[in-house]
Amino acid sequence: AFLDLSGVHEIKATWMGSTILPCTYVPSEGFTQQTLSWSLERDYSSSTIFRRDSSGDHILLAGFRGRVSVPKDSPGNASLLIDSLEITDSGHYTCQITWRSEDNNLIKKEVTTTVKVLKVAATKPIIRAGKLGLNVPAGARTSLTCEATGSPPISYRWFRSTPEGKGLLLSRQAELAWDNLRPSDSGMYYCEAENR
């Protein structure tokens, strides 16, 4: 199977995740890759997303800029990497490569992959409650850690309650740490976890 492109028929990918659409061939002596393009067909219209030719790499659809790439220095690998997948990225993707032979003939091959971007069941963060009340000697090092389960990514914030009942933001990390505790650090602390 000389200069045959291999890919996959269908890929199911997750919303906001990333995926690789395989498109590979075994390089053959006497044949030089001239152009490589990836196009997307959806809603009965087709558009070129990515094109590589002698002038370099070009991303032609604005919605894919900064989100798609094709390996640069691996001959025979024309796979398309898509990041931050949107539901609207679902469709039929075609990898098309043109080679020039030593006797100046052009050979064109293509392979199409259907991509379905699926939403996963999102779950809101659930924080596992720690023990209430912690006695630590002055001058000691200690930390409080917030742990939540749920759909990633999860962001954390630690607050300290003020006498007015407001929360004073102390940290945007899962862990709140002290190197040298002072009596003035006594108080009520709480954590918030958040995802999309």
75-81: average pLDDT = 95
pLDDT higher than threshold 60 for residue 11: yes
pLDDT higher than threshold 80 for residue 62: yes
CA nearest to 156, candidates 165, 145, 167: 145
Q: All domains of the chain, ordered by start, with CATH?
A: 5-118 (2.60.40.10), 126-195 (2.60.40.10)
pLDDT higher than threshold 60 for residue 1: no
* Residue 177 pLDDT: 92
pTM: 0.62
Cis peptide before 163 (omega within 30 of 0): no
11-37: average pLDDT = 92
132-142: average pLDDT = 87
Q: Which of residues 192 and 151 earns the better pLDDT score?
A: 192
pLDDT higher than threshold 90 for residue 131: no
* Residue 126 pLDDT: 87
In the structure, what pLDDT confidence band is assigned to residue 178 with cuts at 50, 70 and 90? very high
* Residue 86 pLDDT: 93
* Residue 89 pLDDT: 95
**Rounded distance, CA 50 to CA 57, Å?**
7
In the structure, what pLDDT confidence band is assigned to residue 193 with cuts at 50, 70 and 90? very high
* Residue 32 pLDDT: 92
Q: Which amino acid is at 195?
A: N
pLDDT higher than threshold 60 for residue 115: yes
* Residue 106 pLDDT: 93
Ordered DSSP codes for 87-127? GGG-EEEEEEEEEEETTS-EEEEEEEEEEEEE-------EE
Q: In what order do the strands lie in the sheet with 80-82?
A: 19-21, 80-82, 68-69
